[in-house]
Amino acid sequence: MGVPDFQSFLRPFLQEASDGKDHRFPEMLERLAAHFGADERDLAEMVPSGTQSRFENRVRWATFYLRRAGFITNTAHGQFRITPLGMQALAKYPVRLDGRTVKSYWPATTPEGTASTSDGIEVEPAQQTPLELLEASYAELRRSLRDELLERIKACPPPFFERLVVDLLVAMGYGGSRADAGQAVGRSGDGGIDGIIKEDKLGLDAIYVQAKRWDGTVGRPVVQGFAGSLDGVRAKKGVLITTSQFSEDAKAYVERIEKKIVLIDGPRLAELMIDHDVGVTLVSSYVAKRIDSDYFDGAG
């Protein structure tokens, strides 16, 4: 069926709580899953960060909206129940209760006495929860940064690309020191191998590297040639890096051979640079947190 938007949970939530009894959040999750006929796939669908199921995230935000409006209230030991105002809302809105309507019941100030909205600006509730909007915005920023990085990489001269590969491998924990890695990569050029880099700081094993700024799709012949080069030095591990992309045939080939060859295409290269802070700088950082229900369940 797909996970409903979080506003669609508002009235069903109140309906499930309309017996006037105390309820716990996990129980309400089960009730709402049954109400919407959610299957295992719906319940397993995650928000982009993979930290929480989309179903749970949307129910939690529905809970926040209803609690803020005074439609439900917390009771002892991490439980909640519907309030008389919540019962009135059920009767007044028999079909649907949307986010804008619920927000109209929010108090003008927070419990601390500060304004409940920023500068008095009314924000229309979205179909997604605030966490989903935040993660979607982050994903778009990351995609834009990845694309810009890839454009910059393609415009740089070959020696710079070799230094970039060295910086990335060292940032990922390979190559020992920066000096060791710099001597290894970009010097060999022997039979399709551009460099040899330590797998760890002690140099217990070696990884053979080929890094090229190809314009077109890299096909199986190139990958197969690199694998043959590994045979020539009795190596079993290699990394093939390109600024373009690999063909499906090339990807299938490395899955079938005994050697371990990792293919890194342009988008993946840019993603790794972002993850390991190579060629990028931090602008701002946000940490999203939520209530630890287990902590409060032990109260009293």
Q: What is the pLDDT of residue 246?
A: 94
Q: Quick one: tokens of 13? A: 């939530």
Tens of pLDDT, residues 53-111:
999 989 988 998 999 899 999 887 678 999 999 999 999 999 999 999 999 998 865 44
* Same-domain status, 152 and 261: yes
Domain count, the chain: 2
User: Can you give the CATH number for the domain in which 217 is found?
Assistant: 3.40.1350.10
81 lies in some domain: yes
User: Can you give the CATH number for the domain in which 74 is found?
Assistant: 1.10.10
Q: Quick one: tokens of 191? A: 């039979």
Rounded Cα distance between 52 and 60, Å, is 11
Q: What is the pLDDT of residue 119?
A: 40
Q: What is the pLDDT of residue 191?
A: 54
Rounded Cα distance between 95 and 40, Å, is 27
Q: What is the pLDDT of residue 298?
A: 59
The residue out of 84, 108, 132 marking a domain boundary is 108
Can you list the alpha helix ranges (DSSP code H) found in 97-247?
Answer: 99-103, 130-155, 158-171, 178-184, 220-232
For 129-149, what is the mean pLDDT?
A: 83
Contact at 8 Å (CB) between 116 and 109? yes
The residue out of 57, 90, 108 marking a domain boundary is 108
Greater pLDDT, 138 or 182: 138
Tens of pLDDT, residues 182-205:
555 555 455 566 777 777 666 667
Can you list the alpha helix ranges (DSSP code H) found in the chain?
Answer: 10-16, 25-36, 40-44, 54-69, 84-92, 99-103, 130-155, 158-171, 178-184, 220-232, 248-256, 266-275, 293-297
Using alpha carbons, list the distances in angstroms from residue 245 to 120, 131, 219, 264. 49, 33, 9, 8
For 260-276, what is the mean pLDDT?
A: 94
Domain region containing 77: 1-108
